[in-house]
Amino acid sequence: MTTVEKQIELRDKILLGLKKAYAKLIEYKKQKGTELVIMKDGKIVKIKPE
């Protein structure tokens, strides 16, 4: 396996981990009924998770 292939594999694992963490965060916010704070167009916005 080349260095480039290793980097691609690592990148894919990192992205998968981020997606799982995001999904868990949304589920947690739904359970607690709290708002999700995000940045949209340079402004801080609070939204309800759906």
23 sits in the region (left: phi over 0; alpha: psi -120 to 50; else beta) called alpha
Residue 3 to residue 29: CA distance in whole angstroms: 39
Residue 34 to residue 49: CA distance in whole angstroms: 8
User: 9-49, pLDDT tens digit by residue?
Assistant: 999 999 999 999 999 999 999 999 999 999 999 999 999 88
pTM for this prediction: 0.73
DSSP letter assigned to residue 41: T
Supply the pLDDT for residue 18: 98
Does residue 50 surpass a pLDDT of 80? no
Residue 35 to residue 50: CA distance in whole angstroms: 10
Domain boundaries defined on the chain: 3-47
